[in-house]
Structure 1
Amino acid sequence: MATKVSAKDIHKNYGAVEALRGVSIDVQEGEVHAICGDNGAGKSTLIKVLAGVETPDRGEVIIDGSPCLFTNPTDALRAGIATIHQDLAVAPRMTIYQNIFMGAELTSRFLGVPFLDKKTMRRDSLTYMSQLNKSITDMNIKVEALSGGQRQAVAICRALRWNAGVVVLDEPTAALGVRETEQVLELIRSLKKAGKTVILISHSMKDVVAVADRVSILRHGENQLQLETAGLSADDLSRYILSGETTQVH
Structure 2
Amino acid sequence: MTPAPVLALRKVTKTFGAVRALVDVDLAVHPGEVLAVVGDNGAGKSTVVKILAGVLGPDTGTLELDGNVVTFPTPGAARAAGVTAVFQDLALCDNLDVVENIFLGHELRERGRRSGALLDEVEMERRAWELLGELAVRLPSVRVPVGTLSGGQRQAVAILRALHGEPRVVLLDEPTSALGVAQTAEVLTLVERLRDRGLGVVLVSHSMADVHAVADRIAVLRLGRHATTFDARTTSYEDLLAAVTGARVPGPTAGPPRRVSHEADARSSATGGER
Deviation string for 1:127-176 (max 9, x for gaps)? 11212234226211211121111111111111211211100000000011
Out of 113, 122, 126, which is 2:125 matched to?
Answer: 122
1:178 matched to which residue of 2? 181
Q: Kindly indicate which of the two structures has a greater share of residues assigned to strand.
A: 1
Given residue 39 of structure 1, which amino acid in structure 2 is its aligned partner? N
227-236 vs 122-131, which moves further: 227-236
1:152 aligned onto 2:133 = no
Classify 1:122/1:245 alpha carbon distance in 2 versus 1 (closer, same or farther; 3 Å).
Answer: same
Out of 59, 62, 77, which is 2:61 matched to?
Answer: 59
Out of 199, 202, 214, which is 1:199 matched to?
Answer: 202
Deviation string for 1:7-54 (max 9, x for gaps)? 000011111111111101121111000001111111111111101011
2:96 matched to which residue of 1? 94
Contact map agreement 1:129 1:153 (CA 8 A) in 2: no
Relative to the length of structure 1, the TM-score reads 0.94
Q: How far apart are residue 247 of structure 1 and its match?
A: 2.8
Question: Partner of 1:121: helix, strand, or coil?
Answer: helix
Contact map agreement 2:230 2:252 (CA 8 A) in 1: no
Given residue 86 of structure 2, which amino acid in structure 1 is its aligned partner? I
Out of 7, 24, 27, which is 2:26 matched to?
Answer: 24
Q: How far apart are residue 219 of structure 1 and its match?
A: 0.8
Q: How far apart are residue 235 of structure 1 and its match?
A: 3.8
Question: Partner of 2:9: helix, strand, or coil?
Answer: strand
Classify 1:111/1:203 alpha carbon distance in 2 versus 1 (closer, same or farther; 3 Å).
Answer: closer
Contact map agreement 2:242 2:249 (CA 8 A) in 1: no
Consecutive unaligned residues of structure 1, counting only runs of 5 or more, are none
Contact map agreement 2:216 2:231 (CA 8 A) in 1: yes
CA RMSD of aligned residues (A): 1.8
Question: Partner of 1:54: helix, strand, or coil?
Answer: coil
- For 2:133 and 2:115, locate their aligned partners in 1 and report how far apart those are by CA, in whole Å: 32
- For 2:153 and 2:171, locate their aligned partners in 1 and report how far apart those are by CA, in whole Å: 17
Count of residue pairs the alignment pairs up: 249
Question: Partner of 2:126: helix, strand, or coil?
Answer: helix
Contact map agreement 2:194 2:201 (CA 8 A) in 1: yes
Question: Partner of 2:141: helix, strand, or coil?
Answer: coil
Given residue 156 of structure 2, which amino acid in structure 1 is its aligned partner? A
Deviation string for 1:30-84 (max 9, x for gaps)? 1000001111111111111101011111001101111111111011111111110
Given residue 212 of structure 1, which amino acid in structure 2 is its aligned partner? A
Contact map agreement 2:239 2:250 (CA 8 A) in 1: no
Given residue 148 of structure 1, which amino acid in structure 2 is its aligned partner? G
1:76 aligned onto 2:78 = yes
Relative to the length of structure 2, the TM-score reads 0.86
Q: How far apart are residue 111 of structure 1 and its match?
A: 5.8
Contact map agreement 2:171 2:202 (CA 8 A) in 1: yes
Q: How far apart are residue 99 of structure 1 and its match?
A: 0.2
Out of 23, 35, 39, which is 2:37 matched to?
Answer: 35
Sequence identity (%): 42
1:133 aligned onto 2:144 = no
Classify 1:35/1:244 alpha carbon distance in 2 versus 1 (closer, same or farther; 3 Å).
Answer: farther
Contact map agreement 1:132 1:153 (CA 8 A) in 2: no
Consecutive unaligned residues of structure 2, counting only runs of 5 or more, are 254-275
